[in-house]
Structure 1
Amino acid sequence: MDADDWRDQLLLDSRRRIINKILDTLKRHAPLSGPEDLKQLRKIAVRFEKKIYTCAPSQSDYLRKISLKMLNLENKSQDLSEDTVMPKKTQANWILEDFREYFERKDDENSA
């Protein structure tokens, strides 16, 4: 990292708080049936935050991308709940699939 890299200014505690906020959003939309589910959601939150942290050119872009993804998740989840009677488990699978696609899309963009 160079001397002017915005990442040098972001404290580890700040990143932990952001990961916890991501995790809170995920938990609101995915039913948890045990500690393994929570572990999986935490892994998703950590991986998502790390991916954005790594590729964002600035702290404001980092925060913007995370906020937009969380807002998008909230909106899609709300739309699914209003449009159909979707079981919570199916909704949780949709959330996991949405994040999986996001990671794959970013991987493809970064390798191009």
Structure 2
Amino acid sequence: MPAELKYVVIVAAVLVVVGIATYAVVQLFGNRAGPEGAVSAGKILQRVAGEDTCHRAPEYPYAIDEAHWIMQERIDCTIERCAAKRMAHSTLVEAGRIVPASERHVR
């Protein structure tokens, strides 16, 4: 293989690695807060509840696996008092993973 071609291959490989690393960093640490001026569901729930909560809800919606973890981690909290658990519960209801007791008899 000619020396010039080796340098081209090395530069191309370095660029691919840098691109992958950049993508990974953006995915891990990117802005999950949503569009500018948006109000998070957690803040809306806190405002509606009008009470202090034991655990604050995040500024971004939970993913389904995060919501499951929060429901297990906050086992002693109630969804009426805990904003984090309330948001996790809402996420799981919307995803069809939990059916609230008031809706079970309807199905």
Larger CA Rg, structure 1 vs 2: 2
Higher relative contact order (CA 8 A, sep 6+): 1
Normalised TM-score (structure 1): 0.27
Higher helix share: 1
Normalised TM-score (structure 2): 0.27
